[in-house]
Amino acid sequence: MKELTFMQFFIDNIYLLIIIITFSIIFFLRRQNIKLNKNKSSSPDRKVQAKLVAFERLVILIERIQPLNMINRLPVNKLNNSSLKTILIKNIISEFDYNVSQQIYVPDNIWESMLLIKNKLINQISSISDSLDEDDSVAKFTSRLISSEQSIQSLIKKTQKMIRFEVENLQ
C-alpha cells in the first residue's frame, strides 16, 4: 500500500518535478553564460573589434556625406537650388549625428578631421547655393560643386589615410 501511495504522489507531482528540473537547468546555463560574457567583454579583442567597427563607420560616413554621392543617392532631380541646399545640409547633419558615438573609439585627430570635413562640406554647399539663383537647377548646382570639390577632397583623402594607418596599427 505504501508503494501505491508513493506512486500516486509521484504521478500527482510529475509536473512540479518537471518544472523544478527545467528551472534548475535554465539557472545553471544562464549562470555559465554570464561568466562567459564577463570574460569576453573585458578581452582586448573586443576593444579592437569596437575600434575597427568605428573606423569602418567613419569611412562609410565620409562616403555618405559627400555632396555628389548624396545627389546621386537622394531624389533631388526636380528640386530648386534652395531646397537642394536644405536637403543636403540636413542629410550631412543627420548622417553625422547618427555616427557621433564613434568619437569615443577613435583618436582625437581623426575625430577633429571628421568635424572639419562636415563643416567644410556644409560651408561649401552654402557658398555654392548662395552664389546661384534660388530657382537654378540641380545640374547647375552640381557643375559648380564639381569645380569646387578639389579643396575638400584633399582633406577627405588625408582623413582616410589617417584611418587606414590606425587600422593597420590596431592591437
88-118 pLDDT tens trace: 999 999 999 999 999 999 999 999 999 999 9
Output the pTM of the full model.
0.70
Tell me the residue range of the domain where 31 lies: 2-39
Say if residue 125 is in the same domain as residue 84: yes
Say if residue 20 is in the same domain as residue 104: no
| CA dist., res. 114 & res. 136, Å (int) | 30
pLDDT confidence of 148, banded at 50, 70, 90? Answer: confident
Say if residue 97 is in the same domain as residue 132: yes
Distances (CA, A) of 145 to 46, 64, 69, 73: 41, 16, 11, 16
Say if residue 68 is in the same domain as residue 33: no
Say if residue 77 is in the same domain as residue 122: yes
Question: Is the CB of residue 106 less than 8 Å from the CB of residue 58?
Answer: yes
Say if residue 153 is in the same domain as residue 83: yes
- What domain count does the chain have? 2
Q: What is the pLDDT of residues 35-74, one digit of tens each?
A: 666 655 556 678 888 899 999 999 999 998 888 888 888 8
Say if residue 88 is in the same domain as residue 160: yes
